Structure 1
Amino acid sequence: MSPAVTLRVPFEGRELHADTLTGASPLHLFGIHGGGASNRSVWNGLRQSLWQRGVGSTALDCVGHGSTGGVFAESSLQRRSQQARSVIEHVGVRPTALAGISMGAYNALRLSEELDVQALILIVPGIYTPEAHEVPFGPDFSTIIRRPRSWIDSDAWDILGRFRGRLLVIAGEQDSVIPLEIPERLHAAAGRASQRELLVVPGAGHKGLLPQLLDNPQWHASLLACVGLQS
């Protein structure tokens, strides 16, 4: 990884661990990882590629993840977005692109409206009903999201319907967590986007998708183009 500045960002009596890379370009990516055992290192490959092209980036470990630590069940979708917002304000660099993986894709999508970004990258995107937004992670949250097609009334569709930047939605063909209908609907909803692409990676599942994208020149180019780099 290129020389990153490590950050300790105060948040509700704890410290969020994050890091930022400065680039010569006005472009700047902010990445939000998924749930489970994920952390900000999932973005290392993409961030290195961008930094080599002069583009800076920032990423954090949400509460319950990585070096931030803490209890995952004490967080929520809403609080994850608040954590990302706190890091963005601390860094003082307004991102031009937001990227999210799995659960982080929903955080990125919701933040895209208030931050007025130029680009949005949603990788194996988890999409949620508004009913789940403020519910702490735990049994009640799981009960809500495990209802069949609980995501159908998500605010994601309307948010993307208003989005006017560049959109890249990436799905795994064999993803057993996120049905292909979700990324397809997200892509279709973004009728006002300046450009939009749906990339379905053949044979791919839910995890480990980003390294495959970076190893494929065409898919790698799609990521860079969405951020704002032209080959």
Structure 2
Amino acid sequence: MEFHDTAAGRRIAYEYTPGTGPTVVFLGGYKSDMQGTKAVHLEDWAQETGRAFLRFDYSGHGDSGGKFEDGCIGDWAEDAQSVIEAVTEGPVLLVGSSMGGWIALLMTQRLADVAGLVTIAGAPDFTEDGFWADFDAEQRKAIMQDGQVALPSDYGDPYIVTRRLIEDGRKHLVLRDPLELPFPVRLLQGTADTAVHPDRALKLLDHAASPDMRLVLVDGADHRFSDADCLALIESSVEEVLARAEVPD
């Protein structure tokens, strides 16, 4: 494990596998870390195939510095951009899981050379269209007055949603304005996902503009999207995007 210090002073833990480009970059989800099943599976695949690969923890996640409750979409996007630009060279293929799908979409607007994109239960704009939209009047009042509210989670401890997370999220929404994705895109989504409804993937498919974009719905798959079949689909989707992106000069 290595560490990268961002310009904002946040210490980011990462694992980098050298190999041929484009570099595959895994962007994890909200409260997830780079030790998750999907990230480790892709690293194993990269090592077996000789592909350059990067996984990392946002600040407040995993082995990176900072407190989770202090973070927001803008901070985590800055973390992602900083470590990707510092560690990788040349084009990158972004693989974004859940919140990482939103961060990956932000990276397509900031990085110099994006070869392709794969999202797994991508959750663009979830702070506004998920958290805030689902809050009742009491929760909205609590988050504005107290600065945070706790939400139950099916994946461990309750989610602490802060006022800063909501307000900062509004500065980084990607489904309100035109979204150009001029490279191959694969959207993967489980139909039994209770954390990110399949409608989110359909909305992204309808909203974004790409010359080569496909949505794959997996019947019965949940938000983890980590059983053997789902992992194989992630792997084959990455390989397909790489094949379509690597056009000879």
Question: TM-score, length-normalised on structure 2?
Answer: 0.74
The 5-angstrom pairing of residues 61-72 of structure 1 reads: 61-72=57-68
Please identify, of 95-104 and 206-215, the stretch whose mean Cα deviation from structure 2 is larger.
Answer: 206-215
Is 88-97 or 14-23 further displaced after alignment?
88-97
Q: Per-residue displacement from partner, 1:10-31 (whole Å, max 9, x unpaired)?
A: 13334211011111x2221111
> Given the alignment, which residue of 89, 109, 115 partners 2:85?
89
Change (3 A) 1:70 1:94: same
Asked if the contact 1:168–1:198 (Cα under 8 Å) also holds between the matched residues in 2, the reply is yes
Question: Residue 2 of structure 2 aligns to which amino acid in structure 1?
Answer: L
Mapped contact 2:17–2:46 kept (Cα < 8 A): no
- Residues 2-52 of structure 1: CA distance to partner in whole angstroms, max 9, x if unpaired? xxxx321113334211011111x222111110012x111231111221332
- The answer for the alignment partner of 1:138 in structure 2 is 161
Which residue number in structure 2 is paired with residue 3 of structure 1? Answer: none
Larger Rg: 2
Q: State the Cα distance separating 1:143 from its structure 2 match.
A: 6.4
Query: Which residue of structure 1 lines up, in the alignment, with residue 22 of structure 2?
Result: 27
Cα distance between partner residues in 2 of 1:7 and 1:210:
29
SS in 2 for 1:209: coil
Query: What secondary structure is seen at the aligned counterpart in 2 of 1:26?
Result: strand
Residues of 2 paired with 1:77 and 1:125: CA distance? 14
Give the superposition deviation at 1:144.
Answer: 7.0
SS at match of 1:41: coil
Instruction: Give, in angstroms, the shift of residue 209 of structure 1.
Output: 3.2
Per-residue deviation, 1:111 = 0.6
Aligned partner of 2:136 in structure 1 is: none
Question: 1 CA distance for matches of 2:93 and 2:16?
Answer: 14
The answer (yes or no) to whether the contact 1:110–1:156 under 8 Å persists in 2 is: no
Equivalent-residue separation in structure 1 for 2:3 and 2:235 (angstroms):
31
Give the one of 87, 91, 94 matched to 1:98. 94
Instruction: Name the structure with the higher strand share.
Output: 2
Match of 1:18 in 2: 14
Distance of aligned partners of 1:108 and 1:41 in 2 relative to their CA distance in 1, 3 Å threshold:
same
Which residue number in structure 1 is paired with residue 47 of structure 2? 51
1:186-205 correspondence runs (5 A): 186-191=204-209, 193-205=210-222
In structure 2, what is the Cα distance between the partners aligned to 1:212 and 1:58? 23
TM-score, length basis structure 1: 0.79
Structure 1: runs of 5+ lacking an equivalent? 1-5
Aligned-partner Cα distance in 2 for 1:211–1:63: 30
Does residue 170 (structure 1) correspond to residue 188 (structure 2)? The answer is yes
Q: Partners of 1:208 and 1:126 in 2: how far apart? A: 14
**For residue 121 of structure 2, what is the aligned residue in structure 1?**
124
Structure 1 segments (4+ residues) deviating >4 Å: 129-132, 141-145
The one-letter code matched in structure 2 to 1:26 is G
Q: Which whole-Å deviations, capped at 9, do the CAs of 1:156-177 have from their partners, x for residues lacking one?
A: 36453x1110101111101111
CA RMSD between the two structures:
3.1
Identity %: 22
Give the distance between the partners of 1:142 and 1:209, measured in 2 at CA: 27
Residue 241 of structure 2 corresponds to residue 223 of structure 1 = no
